[in-house]
């Protein structure tokens, strides 16, 4: 008997329960990855390239036996199953709106061949944590409490060598992993499982103890940088949670951040429309800026030339690294929605185009949290002041100077206020924050009153 292990968002070999379920049913397996045009098109060059690099790492770890095909999985998975005579196809469950639809279509196409779902990319799979009355949580803190109570399994001990990997050359449509795309000046972290584990172990050894105190500081490289590896499943959150079991503040905070990831996946699972629409429908009536001036403002935001140093530094970090510090994601998102009065989904789309960790659930709900339109959101009337946020979370101005070369000669925290002028053509602020804050509040009052 032969199984197929169909890799999707689980590009690793340790702590991979699908290997156990495949080995339960057969001694031989085919490792399959389907390059799905629909997902590739929505990913952007940065994420596609990172994916290709992860696939090359996985193929190396499988000694060249990863079978890659390109097209519609509903068509290709059954074809490969029939070509290799597989009796079962093993996957980690996908809870995204598209992934769930795709898997239903694949299951239908497979007919008598089983599609076996084992595990998911989350510590606790979406839909599992519910209130006593069976309804989903809408607020994070009680969700987290119930999530802890639910608990999760210890990392699965898996080893690829328990299966004999077949790599038939004659599979129709089998291709090489595509080459990297042109990333311009964007530099990405090392891809794949080994890189993920190395980064994690280095974080635990050197930075974990200061995580709670310093994770909000944009200037310090004090967060785990696990988001991209979690996105592609180069590491499973269980593996991380097993290392942060302590009662110390940093371990607790990191567990809580991983709970946010599970929470947002749960919210998306129950509300697929929140990927595109306000979770709180009241906000559907809010007025957004439109027209040429709005497009120009959007362009200035995208390119990091709004004249607000912390905002511009963040937008430039995004382009340079395909990543942005969490605090600065909130500041830049708040600026787009509350200072420029543009809809959150325009900004969210730009983030999804450039973020290497771009994840529909975390991104869209991170945006909705900041915009104040989501579940358990920061209230709409809380508007971030970009200057004081900069002074607080980049107290010596190091972060701004790192990403905005025009401002490198400005010393210390003066780089946030630029009272002595704007050197090297760095632009004047494109809006007056005080006025736009009042404008945001006025628009909010309008929809409250209607």
Annotated binding site: 211, 223-227, 257-264, 357-359
Task: Kindly state whether residue 225 participates in binding ligand FAD, applying the rule CB under 6 A.
Answer: yes
Task: Kindly state whether residue 363 participates in binding ligand FAD, applying the rule CB under 6 A.
Answer: yes
Reduce the DSSP state of residue 131 to 3 states and report it.
coil
Cβ atoms of 64 and 98 closer than 8 Å: no
Query: What character string, x for contact with ligand FAD (CB under 6 A) and - otherwise, covers 246-275?
Result: --------x--xx-xx--x-----------
- Summarize the annotated binding site for FAD as residue ranges: 211, 223-227, 257-264, 357-359
Instruction: Identify the sign of the CA torsion 296, 300, 302, 303.
Output: positive
Q: Taking the complex as a whole, how short is the minimal distance between the CB of residue 1 and ligand FAD, in angstroms?
A: 37
Element (H, E) at 403: helix 398-403
Cβ atoms of 324 and 355 closer than 8 Å: yes
Task: Kindly state whether residue 331 participates in binding ligand FAD, applying the rule CB under 6 A.
Answer: no
Task: Kindly state whether residue 174 participates in binding ligand FAD, applying the rule CB under 6 A.
Answer: no
Q: Taking the complex as a whole, how short is the minimal distance between the CB of residue 367 and ligand FAD, in angstroms?
A: 5
Cβ atoms of 21 and 164 closer than 8 Å: no
Nearest Cα residue to 366 out of 355, 379, 357, 377: 377
Task: Kindly state whether residue 208 participates in binding ligand FAD, applying the rule CB under 6 A.
Answer: no
Nearest Cα residue to 249 out of 210, 277, 293: 210
Task: Kindly state whether residue 91 participates in binding ligand FAD, applying the rule CB under 6 A.
Answer: no
Choices 18-26, 119-127, 144-152, 349-357 (CB under 6 A): range interacting with ligand FAD: 349-357
Please identify which residue in 57, 312, 359, 394 interacts with ligand FAD, judged by CB under 6 A.
359
Please identify which residue in 370, 373, 375, 389 interacts with ligand FAD, judged by CB under 6 A.
370
Q: Taking the complex as a whole, how short is the minimal distance between the CB of residue 365 and ligand FAD, in angstroms?
A: 7
Number of residues that bind ligand FAD (CB under 6 A): 28
Task: Kindly state whether residue 46 participates in binding ligand FAD, applying the rule CB under 6 A.
Answer: no
Task: Kindly state whether residue 120 participates in binding ligand FAD, applying the rule CB under 6 A.
Answer: no
Choices 90-98, 267-275, 291-299, 365-373 (CB under 6 A): range interacting with ligand FAD: 365-373
Contact partners, residue 192, CB within 8 Å, separation at least 6: 11, 53, 54, 56, 57, 58, 61, 234
User: What are 154's two structure tokens?
Assistant: 């210890």
Task: Kindly state whether residue 329 participates in binding ligand FAD, applying the rule CB under 6 A.
Answer: yes
Please identify which residue in 4, 77, 86, 333 interacts with ligand FAD, judged by CB under 6 A.
333
Task: Kindly state whether residue 89 participates in binding ligand FAD, applying the rule CB under 6 A.
Answer: no
b (16+ CB within 10 A) / e for 325-359: bbbbbbbbbbbbbbbbbbbbbbbbbbbbbbbbbbb
- List helix spans (H) across 271-335: 292-303, 309-321, 326-334
User: What are 183's two structure tokens?
Assistant: 């990333």
Cβ atoms of 8 and 90 closer than 8 Å: no
Note the residues at the interface with ligand FAD (CB under 6 A).
Answer: 215, 223-227, 230-231, 254, 257-258, 260-261, 264, 326, 329-330, 333, 351, 355, 357-359, 362-363, 366-367, 370
């Amino acid at each position: 008997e032969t199984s197929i292990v169909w890799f999707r968002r689980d590009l690793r070999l340790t702590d991979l329960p699908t290997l156990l379920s495949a080995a339960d049913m057969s001694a031989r397996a085919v490792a399959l990855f389907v390059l799905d045009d629909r997902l590739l098109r929505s990913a952007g060059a940065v994420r596609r390239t990172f994916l290709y690099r992860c696939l090359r790492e996985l193929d190396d770890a499988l000694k060249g036996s990863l079978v890659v095909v390109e097209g519609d999985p509903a068509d290709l998975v059954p074809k490969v199953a029939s070509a290799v005579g597989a009796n079962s196809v093993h996957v980690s469950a996908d809870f995204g709106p598209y992934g769930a639809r795709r898997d239903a279509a694949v299951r239908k196409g497979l007919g008598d061949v089983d599609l076996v779902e084992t595990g998911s990319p989350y510590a606790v799979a979406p839909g599992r944590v519910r209130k006593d009355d069976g309804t989903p949580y809408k607020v994070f803190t009680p969700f987290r409490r119930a999530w802890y109570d639910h608990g999760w399994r210890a990392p699965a001990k898996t080893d690829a060598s328990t299966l004999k990997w077949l790599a038939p050359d004659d599979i129709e449509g089998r291709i090489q992993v595509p080459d990297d795309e042109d990333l311009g000046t964007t530099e990405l972290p090392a891809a794949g499982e080994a890189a993920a584990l190395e980064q994690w172990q280095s974080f635990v050894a050197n930075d974990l103890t200061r995580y709670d105190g310093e994770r909000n500081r944009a200037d310090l490289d004090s967060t785990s940088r696990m988001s991209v590896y979690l996105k592609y499943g180069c590491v499973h959150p269980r593996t991380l949670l097993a290392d942060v079991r302590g009662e110390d503040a940093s371990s607790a905070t990191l567990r809580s951040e991983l709970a946010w990831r599970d929470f947002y996946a749960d919210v998306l699972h129950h509300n697929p429309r929140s990927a595109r629409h306000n979770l709180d429908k009241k906000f559907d009536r809010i007025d957004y800026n439109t027209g040429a001036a709005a497009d120009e403002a959007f362009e200035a935001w995208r390119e990091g030339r709004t004249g607000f140093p912390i905002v511009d530094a963040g937008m430039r970090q995004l382009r340079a690294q395909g990543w942005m510090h969490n605090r600065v994601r909130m500041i830049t998102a708040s600026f787009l929605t509350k200072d420029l009065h543009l809809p959150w989904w325009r900004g969210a789309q730009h983030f999804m185009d450039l973020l290497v960790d771009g994840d529909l659930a975390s991104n869209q709900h991170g945006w909705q949290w900041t915009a104040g339109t989501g579940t358990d959101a920061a209230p709409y009337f809380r508007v971030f002041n970009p200057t004081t946020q900069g002074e607080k979370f980049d107290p010596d101005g190091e972060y701004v100077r790192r990403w905005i070369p025009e401002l490198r000669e400005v010393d210390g925290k003066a780089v946030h206020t630029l009272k002595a002028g704007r050197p090297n053509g760095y632009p004047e602020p494109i809006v007056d924050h005080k006025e736009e804050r009042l404008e945001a509040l006025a628009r909010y009052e309008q929809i409250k009153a209607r």
